[in-house]
Structure 1
């Protein structure tokens, strides 16, 4: 390994005690705000996760399945008590939202999942969108659903390209073309997200409307992960750094007009009286909170990817060498790169 190491016990204890905190994939000293290391998922973790999914695990279904905040599940609920188990026995996988991970990914460092898992995530989002369409009025009238399907077809093609880059003789031009196409697809999905978000501001909405935003955001995140992987493959770390910074800002822009309370109130607008209004708002609030928090967690995760690229540049570690170490790891599901 270049500089990647198994997560040390002192870091686990530091997070548990509050000495350190995890922001995105960066482990920071709470007192100084200084980054002490970068958490990084490996191919081993994805292999185990895929095995669990295919062996009859019980993934969480419905809205939570399309989670952007899989990293936050680890960071906020699991990291303090389970990080040691992640690096040793993976017992914690039994308690994670496996459906969430399969669709949205961990977001810890650079994604190293293979084509089959990335395509499964894309198909999962697409299938979920199909169930949402019937619940939302006027979906077909503006041809939004047809356009989203075409975008997903483009994304699927580029996922295949990214997964085979290392075997291509023209990997630089192929990677650049794939990253650009994925960026265009993400931009088109952002336009759909913004259009839907804007149209929701002054009308009564339903849980399906929130679910649609969540699904679009998960697809945008997938485009970003694949594009970043392409840039790492051809050692365009400076470009990866700059693009991650911009994309984090774009996710922030998507979330800025959304607040859990406002969304919950819009979900309760059609209630016939104050009692039903209060109950509808209470029921919608958790879903609204998950949506907004998921978007904000994505900002943190993508920002930390920019920091990771900068750290590799400083340490003179190439993107391909970094990916090679991750893909070849057979024992540790989670590693750390010291800052």
Structure 2
């Protein structure tokens, strides 16, 4: 079927004038509060970001890497011009995100790459913290990352196999357990008297990637009602984390104080906004009778525009 995507040129005028604002992956009309569309970065943007940027989930060397060559730099600059200068849609913002904007945008390869980057930083974190929280050892994050990577890796090859749906269903179940375990671990660690910022960022990045991959799996399976329900559950858990992580208290607990507390608070807010946008996307796909798998494949196959918008009826 033909999915009624739009290239977001006409929405940029609204951004410049302040008529529209982005919350997670949804665009809202400021005056009415109504949703006008769902933003999805495409396969073109993901390919450029994966080739041209690196991510440091610990924040130690800044989240934004440097374009590796002139060709990639030129492509990114051209995309930036196309997208306008609105801060909330700048390429740097997308590159610094652990998952990007849209639920479908991060390909399996991108998610696996970012999970590997998280794993690669753990040695340094573990060796630099004199006394790791006891919960850290109980969590066995390395093992969880392996399980998450294995599930996503199998999903990546699933479309080449006759048992694709069973692989996605099995993987989605594993991601659900992993999300809950990561959530429980973060909730226990943030109440410690002293919290390492790099450790917390790794956990939050893992949680965000796991949650996004799970919702994407349900949409791929065309279980849109289940995606709506699960996304609401994720939002509830993220709100619970926010209750345990007030910025004033985190400024006292985090090594690095107020500066780290502000940065992590902003990251958490963006993760919550993106999760909060997912139920409405699922409902929009239901209302437009769009098959979830077709939606994902269409977004990932786009190679002429870095962003597409699914207008809201």
TM-score tier after normalising by the smaller chain length: 0.7 to 0.9
Residues 143-182 of structure 1 aligned to structure 2 (within 5 Å): 144=137, 147-182=140-175
How far apart are residue 7 of structure 1 and its match?
Answer: 0.4
SS at match of 2:159: helix
Of 259-268 and 216-225, more deviation after overlay is shown by: 259-268
Inter-partner Cα distance in structure 2 for 1:193 and 1:296: 15
Contact 2:179–2:207 at 8 Å: present in 1 too?
Answer: yes
CA distance in 1, matches of 2:113, 2:42: 18
Find 1:100's aligned residue among 88, 96, 102.
Answer: 96
Q: Structure 2 matches for 1:1-339, cutoff 5 A?
A: 1-9=2-10, 11-53=11-53, 62-63=58-59, 85-87=81-83, 96=92, 100-101=96-97, 104-115=98-109, 117-139=110-132, 144=137, 147-198=140-191, 200=192, 203=193, 205=194, 209-267=196-254, 284-339=257-312
TM-score with structure 2 length normalisation?
Answer: 0.85
Summarize the Cα distance change of 1:193–1:143 in structure 2 as closer, same or farther, 3 Å threshold.
Answer: closer
Contact 1:110–1:305 (Cα < 8 Å) also in 2: no
Partner of residue 73, structure 1: none
SS in 2 for 1:5: coil
Q: Secondary structure at the match of 1:134?
A: helix
Q: What are structure 2's unaligned runs of at least 5 residues? A: 64-77
Q: Retained in 1: the 8 A contact 2:83–2:90?
A: no
Shift of 1:36: 0.4
Residues 252-261 or 41-50, more deviating:
252-261
User: Per the alignment, do residues 307 and 97 of structure 1 end up closer, same or farther by CA in structure 2, a change over 3 Å counting?
Assistant: closer
Gap runs ≥5 in structure 1: 68-81, 269-282
Shift of 1:153: 0.8
Does the 8 Å contact 1:66/1:218 carry over to 2?
no
Q: CA deviation at 1:18?
A: 1.3
Q: CA–CA distance in 2 between the matches of 1:288 and 1:213?
A: 11
Q: Is the 8 A contact 2:56 2:62 kept in 1?
A: no
Counterparts of 2:126 and 2:138 in 1: how far apart (Å)? 8
Distance 2:284 2:118 in 1: 33
Does the CA-based 8 Å contact 1:59-1:97 persist in structure 2? no
Cα displacement (A) at 1:52? 1.1
Shift of 1:130: 2.2
Partner of 2:38, secondary structure, is: strand
What TM-score do the two structures reach when normalised by structure 1? 0.79
**Deviation of residue 245 (structure 1)?**
1.0
Which has the larger Rg? Answer: 1
Cα distance in 2 for partners of 1:23, 1:83 equals 21
- 1:286-328 deviation digits (Å, cap 9, x = unpaired): 2111112211211110111111110010000010110121122
- Tell me the residue number matched to 2:70: none
